[in-house]
Structure 1
Amino acid sequence: MTLVVAAARAEKEAFVQSESIIEVLRFDDGGLLQTETTLGLSSYQQKSISLYRGNCRPIRFEPPMLDFHEQPVGMPKMEKVYLHNPSSEETITLVSISATTSHFHASFFQNRKILPGGNTSFDVVFLARVVGNVENTLFINTSNHGVFTYQVFGVGVPNPYRLRPFLGARVPVNSSFSPIINIHNPHSEPLQVVEMYSSGGDLHLELPTGQQGGTRKLWEIPPYETKGVMRASFSSREADNHTAFIRIKTNASDSTEFIILPVEVEVTTAPGIYSSTEMLDFGTLRTQDLPKVLNLHLLNSGTKDVPITHRRQKSHLSFLGK
């Protein structure tokens, strides 16, 4: 059987986030209207607070807040949230939904208008990117009832396949970022990767050997072993912050379970020293294992030689080198 590496278009999300700016996606009966990116988080929160000072909240959420509890990094979990309009006279018109973190994603509302006594719903996906507690506030903007806030929580735990998002890479224009996707098999039976997709654009998937195809054996991982099954190749064509996703499914997954790995790359025109990988991952080593050596390749994108006078590492682990 031949492996086929396919690319799929990323689904549009209901909001896009950065650390300080929330992009509010507005939509009407026909779908997406426009995107606003000029509103800072602090001003949005102030607007939300001022609208409710001295007023009763004319909407009810079910559940009142959403707690995803523990979820492995890179393994999304989706929950549905219902909005109820308790008024017997007024219709609530929903305009947009937004957030300020990339751990939570929301769908469009099932219905944009909530009639008196009626309800609508939207889905929230928790995609943990790091290990630890995560919380955020969703902002729901209405046409005539102000801004409603909704709290979401979750805890990221280590991925059982030792997979992680590729975050924080910084590369110069016209270069590439090509990390290997290593998957660990925690089961007592062979683990088979059955499909892997990228969200397209400048991110492509290729076999680690560089071949165009191969047999299923290339994607079979023996019990309790770790294997590089694919290379994610990002080509930096223009300076910008780029985000893409890799979706992975194995024979250990049910029909609705899959892994999603975000890939974030900053492409810049500034000259400097760049690394071919954003992290050196030594995996898990046992006390009886031999030392593991990884090479760190550096690129000088400038026009002058850059002498390396010393190197330093911040962790408590010993660093050996010549």
Structure 2
Amino acid sequence: MMVGHRVQSDTASGGTKAKEKRYNVRRMAGDDSLPIEFDPPFLDFGENAVGQSSKRRIFVRSRLQKAVMLDSIIGATVNFHTSFFNTVEISPLGTAFFEVAFLPREEGKASVAINIHTSVGIFVYHSVVHQFTNPKSV
């Protein structure tokens, strides 16, 4: 059963359950089977003082000979925020980017798995940071 442009049929088990293909970007980095690649493949903000934000740009490159639609970016944390893509479609073998901002709120390690929905599947992109006490806090 074909529903939209991203959904594949799961008929191997005799059913018609539709599902999207999922890719773990960190685990599959450097693997030629990824239809799009991320640079960097994993985002490490390093050490950040509580209250001091930082931002990084992530590039998305298509390895396909067809256009890739960039649908949405979803993350589940108040510390990490993402921009929209700079374009909604990556041309064949083209590049796009988005940005991830981080605002440390408490001490300790924080991480997030950002889900990037595209026309070729869902890509899980990981980001981590170590937060420490801000020496300039009042």
TM-score (norm 1): 0.33
Deviation at 1:145, TM superposition (A): 1.1
- Gaps in structure 2 of 5+ consecutive residues: 1-17, 24-32
What is the distance in 2 between the residues matched to 1:126 and 1:52?
Answer: 25
Higher relative contact order (CA 8 A, sep 6+): 2
Deviation at 1:52, TM superposition (A): 3.5
The residue number in structure 1 matching 2:111 is 135
The residue number in structure 2 matching 1:60 is 37
Higher-Rg structure is 1
Q: What does the per-residue CA deviation read over 1:141-178, in whole Å, with 9 as the maximum and x for residues that have no partner?
A: 11x2121110001011101222xxxxxxxxxxxxxxxx
Deviation at 1:126, TM superposition (A): 1.2
Q: In structure 2, what residue type is equivalent to 1:138? A: I
Aligned length: 112
Same amino acid, percent of matched pairs:
32
Residues 1:83 and 2:57 are matched in the alignment? no
Say if 2:107 and 2:132, in contact at 8 Å, map to a contact too: yes
| Superposed counterparts of 1:1-322, under 5 Å | 51-52=21-22, 56-87=33-64, 89-142=65-118, 144-162=119-137, 183=138
Q: In structure 2, what residue type is equivalent to 1:113? A: E
Q: In structure 1, what residue type is equivalent to 2:123? A: F
Deviation at 1:76, TM superposition (A): 0.3
Moved over 4 A (4+): none
Query: RMSD across aligned C-alpha pairs, in angstroms?
Result: 1.8
Deviation at 1:103, TM superposition (A): 1.1
Deviation at 1:122, TM superposition (A): 0.7
Structure with a larger share of its residues in strand? 2
Say if 2:72 and 2:116, in contact at 8 Å, map to a contact too: yes
Q: In structure 1, what residue type is equivalent to 2:41? A: P
What is the distance in 1 between the residues matched to 2:83 and 2:135?
Answer: 27
Q: In structure 1, what residue type is equivalent to 2:21? A: L
What is the distance in 1 between the residues matched to 2:34 and 2:93?
Answer: 14
- Gaps in structure 1 of 5+ consecutive residues: 1-46, 163-182, 184-322
Q: In structure 2, what residue type is equivalent to 1:94? A: L
Q: What does the per-residue CA deviation read over 1:269-301, in whole Å, with 9 as the maximum and x for residues that have no partner?
A: xxxxxxxxxxxxxxxxxxxxxxxxxxxxxxxxx
Q: In structure 2, what residue type is equivalent to 1:150? A: Y
Deviation at 1:115, TM superposition (A): 0.6
